[in-house]
Amino acid sequence: MNTNVNRWFPQPRHCDSRRALLTSAMGIATLGVIGAPLLGVPELSDAAALTKDVRDKLTPDQIIEEMKQGNERFRTGKMSPHDYLAQKRATIAGQYPAAVILSCIDSRAPAEIILDSRIGDTFNARIVGNIANDDLLGSLEFACAVAGAKVVLVMGHTACGAIKGAIDGAQLGNLTGLLNKIKPAVDATRYEGERTSKNGEFVDEVAKTNVRLTVGAIRERSDVLAGLEKDGKIKIVGSMYRLAGGHIAFFT
Ligand SMILES: [Zn+2]
How many angstroms does the Cα of residue 128 sit away from the middle of ligand 1? 6
Interior angle at CA 214, CA 208 and CA 216, nearest 5: 105
Q: SS3 sequence, 17-47?
A: HHHHHHHHHCCCHHHCCCCCCCCCCHHHHHH
How many angstroms does the Cα of residue 102 sit away from the middle of ligand 1? 12
How many angstroms does the Cα of residue 55 sit away from the middle of ligand 1? 30
Tell me, what's the pLDDT at 48? 86
How many angstroms does the Cα of residue 163 sit away from the middle of ligand 1? 7
How many angstroms does the Cα of residue 136 sit away from the middle of ligand 1? 16
Tell me, what's the pLDDT at 131? 98
Tell me, what's the pLDDT at 7? 58
How many angstroms does the Cα of residue 101 sit away from the middle of ligand 1? 14
pLDDT digits (tens, 9 = 90+) for 41-66: 333 334 689 999 999 999 999 999 99
How many angstroms does the Cα of residue 108 sit away from the middle of ligand 1? 9
How many angstroms does the Cα of residue 73 sit away from the middle of ligand 1? 23
Tell me, what's the pLDDT at 27? 27
How many angstroms does the Cα of residue 220 sit away from the middle of ligand 1? 23
Tell me, what's the pLDDT at 252? 77
Tell me, what's the pLDDT at 46? 43
How many angstroms does the Cα of residue 28 sit away from the middle of ligand 1? 40
pTM of the model: 0.83
How many angstroms does the Cα of residue 138 sit away from the middle of ligand 1? 21
Low-confidence ranges of the chain (pLDDT < 70): 1-47
How many angstroms does the Cα of residue 162 sit away from the middle of ligand 1? 5
How many angstroms does the Cα of residue 215 sit away from the middle of ligand 1? 16
| Residues 239/155, Cβ–Cβ less than 8 Å | yes
Q: Give the Cα separation of 79 and 114 in Å (integer).
A: 9
How many angstroms does the Cα of residue 171 sit away from the middle of ligand 1? 16
Catalogue the long-range contacts made by 214-221 (C-beta closer than 8 Å, 24 or more residues apart): 214/102, 214/130, 214/131, 214/132, 214/154, 214/238, 215/154, 215/251, 217/131, 217/132, 218/132, 218/137, 218/140, 218/152, 218/154, 221/132, 221/134, 221/137
